[in-house]
Structure 1
Amino acid sequence: MHKLWASVKKESLLLLRDTGALIILFVMPLALIITVTLIQQGSFKTLSNAKIPVLLIDNDHGSVSKGIRENLENSGSFEIVSEKEGKQLTEEQARNEVFKGRYPMAVIVPENLSADLHQKVQVNVDKILKDVGIGEDSSAAFHEVETKEIRLYFDPATQLAFKSAVKNSIDKMVSELEVQSVYSLFQEQLSDSVAILSQKSFLRFKEIMPVTGTRELIPNATQHNVPAWTLFAIFFIVIPLSINLVKEKGQGTLVRLRTLPMPYIMVIMGKTVTFLVICMIQFYLMVAVGVYLFPLLGLEPLQAGGKLLLMSVVALCSGFAAIGFGILLGTVSQTQEQSAPFGATSVVILAAIGGVWVPVFAMPAFMQFVSGLSPMNWGLNAFYDVILRNSDLWAILPRLALLLAFFVLMTGIAIVYDEKKRAV
């Protein structure tokens, strides 16, 4: 125990003498999490509060185009623009405005949409009534109705998620208008013999949130960002840890340590304990920022009540995984020029495939498989299990075991590599 304490003391003194490294380890992650959360929160507020200008070219001037306009206006998310400098816009002008990035999108309603829709519905209603012995088949009096297109133009820089949301919204509007037309025609044909048909929606959606006690766990940007960027900060200690090992090899310190009457594993454990303390300090600083500072900045606070112990366990195991990777990198690297760039790049890659930036479900199938091999993915999902899914220790135990096994594997490879290298 005395030898381990001596090793920890040596590592601590080295870190305390490097003020710049300490600033990077503690201040930069805090700046990162505050900046990212403010940006995301600002984006959410923009989408929910600000209206998006949309060009609407109405070539129909009927009930369908009127319904589309009313639905877009009533949604509270769009501002309809049909004129420019007092003149009605044409489709060509709308296309140019959108493709030049001046407007995010344009909706072009084709001519005779309302009339053709009414005719199509009328034919179908007459056929149904004839089949049940009511009315006559008048479909022969109508020509075949061609399929209509509501054309949408999007700014080329528009994100795919926004495009999909708008397409689904407009498709839903048109479907509802078509259903209403069917109900209305049936009502006209059968008004003398049946009661008024109900046009109220039968189905509706209700999102059910996880509940802890009597409070619903409503996800927000803070609950996603705090664990994600805490994990990123924890793994970033790979850089100073690997540089520390490379320095010791270059200065001969490691050779002198190996001549002392203690096993090499004790040197490794000294570094592990020291950097593990740093990881936990990083974690608690991040949590403190989420709980106390975020509300002062107008952000949602982190709901950590009753979960801090489990979150600490996840952070501890994640710290072990990061330290194991840093020890291996520092052992195999010969210079700081090798360890620092490779360490930074590998951490960014692990974060990218681990789901810190892009949700795993949005990745291609192959990348989803690769994501399952990233220790950041294990740690991030363990954090999400605790914070968002209200899981207990037994539920996250497999992920914690993977993180600890990763530490043992990385450290074991580093020790074996070092021993073989010295035996040559």
Structure 2
Amino acid sequence: MHKLWASTLKEFKLLSRDVGGMAILFLMPLALLIVITIIQDSSFKAVNSIKIPILLVDNDGGNVAKTITEGLSNSETFKIIKSASETEAKQQVFSGDYQLAIVIPEKLSEDLEAKVNENVEGILSAFGVAEENTFQKEKKEIKAKEVRLYFDPATQGSFKNQVKNGIDKMISKIETETIYKAFQEQIGEEETPLFETESFISFKEIVPVKNEKEIIPNSAQHNVPAWALFAIFFIIVPLSINMVKEKHQGTFVRLRTQPVSYATVLGGKTLVYLAVCLIQFALMLFVGIYVFPLLGLPTLDVSGRLPLLLVVALFAGLAAIGLGLLIGTIAKTQEQAAPFGSTFVVILAALGGVWVPVFIMPKFMQLISQVSPMNWGLSAFYDVFLRNASIKAIIPEISLLFLFFLATTLIAIFYNEKKQTV
């Protein structure tokens, strides 16, 4: 234990002497987070070039439901998957299995037809074609319908707006055409505006609810976990560079003359750089909570989530450090460690869904993304931030992150021992 503490103290002193490097390590990720969030908060990103699987619950079975289904199927955006019940579809969407579920209410076609006929009879009565008293006597109240939409809480807001606008136009067109068709069947080719134009069919987004309050994701909840994870993994660059510098300065040679194992040396580095990762994450949360509102951005809500967020950050930091230890062990020069480390982080970020959501990637890239530790970390962050998940729900992701740390660290130790014995 004393050797581990001495190794940790050594790493802390080395790191604290580089004030400029520490400032860059903490301030640059914050600047990146603020810039990206400002850009994404005001931008509208279209996703027209990929088929996104969505769930469809048809409780109507009539002509209107058929028209909606055909319209969605013929679009270049969606792939329709029929679901048996609204409860099942809701569970699958809120658990992140699908991006969207559309629920068509019961008797939509029947009630729409009745409403149209009621409008037509009212118009005919106004022209004296039908008896007004008969129309008023037979008139009954028909409640408006809601086409309910369930979105995965981790879905980008721009995608949600695009979907809602598209479905709204489709439903409005169906309703208008139905009214005109029924009206023309009664009076022939005459054109008249004498019927109700208020929308009869509407849609309502169903969002998760906590303590009777809707959980509405915003750009802060999407960007803070993504770029915090990016900053945490970027720790591999200074870590691997420092390890290479110690090789060239003879530090490792001097350590080998002492009864200190390589595992103990790596343990000291792990503790120090893990503290750096957690401080980075805390600063990211601070910016999201206190700085974002000053810039007109959504406030980051961490109420009730902070313990789980720190758990995810802890295991994500371990995974990043394990990778940094491996690169630093294998690399022979700083020119090898720095470019490879920084480029590899960007690749992991791209595969992990930090740059582009995984669900709009090509199919083979979605499969490859499953092996990215940043994908595991981002998924765990989204589960906590957006899906209100418990510790049980994030165990698979944090377990993968911890196994990744163990695997990379053990490989680094084995490689070093093998190299020293040659």
* TM-score, scaled relative to structure 2: 0.68
The one of 405, 409, 415 equivalent to 1:411 is 409
Structure 2: how far apart are the matches of 1:260 and 1:406?
29
Shift of 1:20: 2.0
What one-letter code is carried by the residue in structure 2 that aligns with 1:17?
R
The one of 275, 281, 287 equivalent to 2:279 is 281
Shift of 1:250: 1.3
Shift of 1:161: 11
Q: 1:283 to 1:161 in 2, by over 3 A?
A: closer
CA deviations 1:29-77 (Å, max 9, x no partner) are 11011111111223269xxxxxxxxxxxxxxxxxxxxxxxxxxxxxxxx
Structure 1: how far apart are the matches of 2:256 and 2:367?
41
Shift of 1:160: 11
What one-letter code is carried by the residue in structure 2 that aligns with 1:208?
I
Counterpart in the other structure of 1:188: 187
What one-letter code is carried by the residue in structure 2 that aligns with 1:333?
A
Structure 2: how far apart are the matches of 1:200 and 1:17?
70
Counterpart in the other structure of 1:397: 395
Structure 1: how far apart are the matches of 2:197 and 2:37?
43
Give 3-state SS (helix, strand or coil) of 2:302's partner.
coil
CA deviations 1:323-351 (Å, max 9, x no partner) are 00000011111100001000000000000
Counterpart in the other structure of 1:4: 4
CA deviations 1:146-175 (Å, max 9, x no partner) are xxxxxxxxxxxxx99999998777666654
Shift of 1:186: 2.7
Deviates more, 1:224-233 or 1:258-267: 258-267
Is the CA contact (8 Å cut-off) linking 2:232 and 2:320 kept in structure 1?
yes
Structure 2: how far apart are the matches of 1:164 and 1:27?
37
How many residues align? The count is 307
Deviates more, 1:291-300 or 1:165-174: 165-174
Structure 1: how far apart are the matches of 2:37 and 2:339?
27
What one-letter code is carried by the residue in structure 2 that aligns with 1:178?
E
Counterpart in the other structure of 2:373: 375
Counterpart in the other structure of 2:32: 32
Is the CA contact (8 Å cut-off) linking 1:7 and 1:266 kept in structure 2?
yes
What one-letter code is carried by the residue in structure 2 that aligns with 1:388?
L
Structure 2: how far apart are the matches of 1:23 and 1:14?
14
Is the CA contact (8 Å cut-off) linking 1:242 and 1:339 kept in structure 2?
yes
Structure 1: how far apart are the matches of 2:344 and 2:235?
12
Structure 2: how far apart are the matches of 1:346 and 1:375?
12
Matched, 1:19 2:11: no
Give 3-state SS (helix, strand or coil) of 2:279's partner.
helix
Structure 2: how far apart are the matches of 1:166 and 1:312?
37
Give 3-state SS (helix, strand or coil) of 1:300's partner.
coil
Gaps of 5+ in 2: 46-157, 189-193
Counterpart in the other structure of 2:103: none
Is the CA contact (8 Å cut-off) linking 1:324 and 1:408 kept in structure 2?
yes
The one of 341, 344, 348 equivalent to 2:342 is 344
Structure 2: how far apart are the matches of 1:206 and 1:405?
42
Give 3-state SS (helix, strand or coil) of 1:12's partner.
helix
Structure 2: how far apart are the matches of 1:236 and 1:197?
63
Shift of 1:260: 1.0
Structure 1: how far apart are the matches of 2:392 and 2:310?
15
Structure 2: how far apart are the matches of 1:371 and 1:245?
29
Gaps of 5+ in 1: 46-158, 190-195
Is the CA contact (8 Å cut-off) linking 1:180 and 1:199 kept in structure 2?
no
Structure 2: how far apart are the matches of 1:316 and 1:3?
23
Matched, 1:241 2:239: yes
CA deviations 1:73-129 (Å, max 9, x no partner) are xxxxxxxxxxxxxxxxxxxxxxxxxxxxxxxxxxxxxxxxxxxxxxxxxxxxxxxxx
Matched, 1:229 2:230: no
Q: 1:165 to 1:210 in 2, by over 3 A?
A: closer
Give 3-state SS (helix, strand or coil) of 1:207's partner.
strand
Q: 1:164 to 1:212 in 2, by over 3 A?
A: closer
CA deviations 1:189-224 (Å, max 9, x no partner) are 6xxxxxx99887664321111122122110110000
Structure 2: how far apart are the matches of 1:420 and 1:298?
55
What is the 5 A alignment of 1:101-250? 174-188=173-187, 203-250=201-248
Structure 1: how far apart are the matches of 2:167 and 2:362?
22
* TM-score, scaled relative to structure 1: 0.68
Structure 1: how far apart are the matches of 2:376 and 2:168?
36
Give 3-state SS (helix, strand or coil) of 2:375's partner.
helix
Structure 1: how far apart are the matches of 2:159 and 2:399?
37
Is the CA contact (8 Å cut-off) linking 2:208 and 2:214 kept in structure 1?
yes
Is the CA contact (8 Å cut-off) linking 1:183 and 1:199 kept in structure 2?
no
Structure 1: how far apart are the matches of 2:232 and 2:225?
10
Is the CA contact (8 Å cut-off) linking 1:187 and 1:197 kept in structure 2?
no
Structure 2: how far apart are the matches of 1:242 and 1:185?
76
Matched, 1:305 2:303: yes
What one-letter code is carried by the residue in structure 2 that aligns with 1:219?
P
CA deviations 1:230-271 (Å, max 9, x no partner) are 000000000000001111111111111122112211100000
Counterpart in the other structure of 1:260: 258
RMSD after superposition: 2.8
Give 3-state SS (helix, strand or coil) of 2:202's partner.
coil
Structure 2: how far apart are the matches of 1:337 and 1:10?
24
Structure 1: how far apart are the matches of 2:181 and 2:290?
56
Structure 2: how far apart are the matches of 1:391 and 1:331?
37
